[in-house]
């Protein structure tokens, strides 16, 4: 459920006409709905209100500091994967004690920054990383709170490009090594093991894999405690899928997902951490572009738009499909068009055979479900300016990242003096 709608006079984001924003900011651009972000966070938070639980938003899904601040003020923490994301989360006012640091290859500098900030937890993914973190923390005279990321060897049944919990994926330590490595973490200087973490993939469309992973890691909590270890935190990662197309099978409802996790961990007496990204941000964003011109290529109609794969790469990268909405209220018989951008790559193709009613130059098109893994993956390929982001809240909108000028885009580049 989102707060974007089609009304008699065009598309709206909450109470603001899309056309008004597009005219003011220019296209292409991303538009986020504050009400949708709040709603998605609140639905999940509500399901865990009787638990000691932290919802640490996966910053990599949508990292604009306005969005992080909005979620942080409601109590969200941050799941970060880089020093840059740590910087963002702290800038957005999310307290360090609500930050968990994931990722397979954290650098020394990133570890130091996170130790100095005093984050809640390092999610450690290998024996080598335990040794590295131990050395870095010891040198600073600090103790790093550690959760061991275990690979539960659960196939999430999702696209292989976004699956992370099978035993040959690069993530986590093998389930069979978890006990030994937890003992090692307890023995190494500068480390304090406090829990376990799993994250089995993204865009997962059934609760069964989550249930299996939670059961496996829950069993590990019990056996580690039996060995005398303290296990106070259990981080179940993110990964719940969302509906991208009306026709596709609906993923589980957040309440059903939450009930499953609650049930699987009810008796464990742990502080629960969740790391949702897509679930919170996905449906809260639109990617908006304008038709530049149309072209009939040997019988294939193309609507060529001003947005491109550098702005929204999901269709090119994962074959993702985003439902298209027309700003103009549909009248007459639609004509099927391929929608493509101006970038010099054949993969710069957003969608095929989309029925469009209005294909005149300047008409607006909105791609739904573009809030997660959209703007964050944008680049300046073809020296196209980084796509702007707008946050709508009721009848107001704010440009939360403006379009850079060409001068700004080149400001980091230098021509050597003598050649």
Catalytic residues: 344
**H/E/C letters for each residue in 238-256?**
CCECCCCCCCCCCCCCHHH
- Is the CB of 64 or the CB of 289 nearer to ligand PLP? 64
Question: In the set 61, 62, 224, 303, which binds ligand PLP (CB under 6 A)?
Answer: 61
Q: Does 100 bind ligand PLP (CB under 6 A)?
A: no
Task: Of 246, 278, 55, give the one whose Cα is nearest residue 158.
Answer: 278
At 5 the three-state DSSP class reads: strand
Q: Nearest approach, Cβ of 281 to ligand PLP (angstroms)?
A: 8
- Is the CB of 76 or the CB of 372 nearer to ligand PLP? 372
Of 41-49, 84-92, 273-281, 307-315, the window that binds ligand PLP (rule: CB under 6 A) is: 273-281
Structure tokens at 6: 């089609």
Question: What CA–CA distance (Å, rounded) separates 81 from 403?
Answer: 25
Q: Are 156 and 209 in contact (CB under 8 A)?
A: yes
Q: Are 240 and 276 in contact (CB under 8 A)?
A: yes
Of 42-50, 55-63, 313-321, 326-334, the window that binds ligand PLP (rule: CB under 6 A) is: 55-63
Residue 209 annotated as binding site: no
Question: In the set 3, 40, 60, 337, which binds ligand PLP (CB under 6 A)?
Answer: 60
Residue 373 annotated as binding site: yes
Residue 277 annotated as binding site: yes
Q: Is 9 exposed, middle or buried (0-12, 13-18, 19+ CB in 10 A)?
A: exposed
Binding mask 5-44 for ligand PLP (x = CB under 6 A): ----------------------------------------
Q: Are 112 and 140 in contact (CB under 8 A)?
A: yes
- Is the CB of 209 or the CB of 237 nearer to ligand PLP? 237
- Is the CB of 106 or the CB of 384 nearer to ligand PLP? 106
Q: Nearest approach, Cβ of 106 to ligand PLP (angstroms)?
A: 12
Q: Is the peptide bond before 28 cis (omega within 30 degrees of 0)?
A: yes
Q: Does 314 bind ligand PLP (CB under 6 A)?
A: no
Q: How many residues does the chain have?
A: 419
Report the run of H or E that residue 212 belongs to, with start and end: helix 208-226
- Is the CB of 254 or the CB of 277 nearer to ligand PLP? 277
Question: What CA–CA distance (Å, rounded) separates 40 from 232?
Answer: 27
Residue 166 annotated as binding site: no
Q: Nearest approach, Cβ of 250 to ligand PLP (angstroms)?
A: 17
Q: Does 47 bind ligand PLP (CB under 6 A)?
A: no
Question: What CA–CA distance (Å, rounded) separates 20 from 157?
Answer: 41
Question: What CA–CA distance (Å, rounded) separates 270 from 225?
Answer: 12
Question: What CA–CA distance (Å, rounded) separates 140 from 159?
Answer: 41
Task: Of 134, 147, 208, 143, give the one whose Cα is nearest residue 182.
Answer: 147
**Of residues 221-240, those binding ligand PLP (CB under 6 A):** 237-239
- Is the CB of 182 or the CB of 210 nearer to ligand PLP? 210
Binding mask 348-387 for ligand PLP (x = CB under 6 A): ------------------------x---------------
Question: In the set 38, 212, 216, 278, which binds ligand PLP (CB under 6 A)?
Answer: 278
Distance of CA 123 to the CA centre of its chain: 17
Q: Does 194 bind ligand PLP (CB under 6 A)?
A: no
Number of residues that bind ligand PLP (CB under 6 A): 16
Question: In the set 276, 315, 385, 388, which binds ligand PLP (CB under 6 A)?
Answer: 276
Q: Does 79 bind ligand PLP (CB under 6 A)?
A: yes
Report the run of H or E that residue 129 belongs to, with start and end: helix 127-140
Q: What is the DSSP string of 10-22?
A: EEEETTEEHHHHH
Which residues sit at the interface with ligand PLP, rule CB under 6 A?
58, 60-61, 79, 102, 199, 202, 237-239, 275-279, 372
């Amino acid at each position: 459920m989102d707060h974007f709608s089609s009304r008699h006079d065009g598309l709206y984001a909450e109470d603001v006409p899309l056309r008004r924003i597009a005219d003011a900011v220019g296209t292409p651009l991303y538009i986020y709905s504050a009400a949708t972000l709040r709603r998605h966070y609140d639905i999940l938070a509500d399901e865990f209100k009787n638990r000691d639980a932290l919802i640490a938003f996966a910053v990599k899904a949508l990292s604009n500091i306005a969005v992080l601040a909005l979620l942080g003020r409601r109590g969200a923490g941050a799941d970060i994967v880089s020093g840059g994301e740590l910087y963002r989360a702290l800038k957005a006012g999310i307290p360090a004690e609500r930050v968990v640091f994931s990722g397979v290859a954290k650098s020394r500098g990133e570890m130091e920054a996170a130790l100095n900030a005093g984050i809640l937890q390092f999610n450690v993914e290998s024996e080598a990383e335990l040794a590295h973190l131990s050395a870095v923390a010891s040198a600073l005279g600090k103790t790093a709170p550690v959760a061991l990321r275990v690979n539960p060897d659960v196939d999430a049944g999702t696209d292989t490009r976004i699956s992370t919990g099978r035993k040959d994926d690069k993530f986590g330590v093998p389930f069979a090594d978890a006990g030994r490595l937890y003992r090692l973490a307890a023995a190494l200087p500068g480390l304090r093991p406090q829990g376990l973490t799993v994250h089995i993939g993204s865009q997962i469309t059934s609760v069964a894999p989550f249930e299996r992973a939670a059961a496996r890691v829950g069993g590990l909590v019990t056996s580690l405690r039996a060995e005398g270890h303290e296990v106070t935190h259990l981080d179940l990662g993110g990964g719940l899928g969302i509906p991208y197309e009306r026709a596709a099978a609906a993923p589980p409802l957040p309440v059903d997902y939450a009930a499953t996790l609650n049930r699987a961990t009810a008796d464990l007496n742990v502080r629960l951490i969740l790391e949702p990204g897509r679930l919170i941000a996905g449906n809260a964003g639109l990617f908006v572009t304008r038709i530049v011109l149309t072209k009939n290529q040997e019988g294939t109609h193309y609507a060529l738009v001003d947005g491109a794969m550098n702005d929204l790469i999901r269709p090119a990268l994962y074959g993702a499909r985003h439902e298209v909405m027309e700003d103009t209220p549909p009248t007459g018989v639609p004509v099927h068009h391929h929608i493509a951008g101006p970038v010099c790559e054949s993969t710069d193709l957003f969608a095929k055979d989309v029925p469009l009613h209005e294909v005149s130059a300047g008409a607006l098109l909105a791609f739904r479900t573009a809030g997660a893994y959209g703007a964050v993956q944008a680049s300046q390929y073809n020296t196209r300016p980084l796509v702007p982001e707008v946050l709508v809240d009721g009848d107001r909108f704010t440009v939360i990242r403006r379009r850079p000028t060409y001068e700004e885009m080149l400001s980091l580049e230098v021509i050597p003096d003598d050649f």
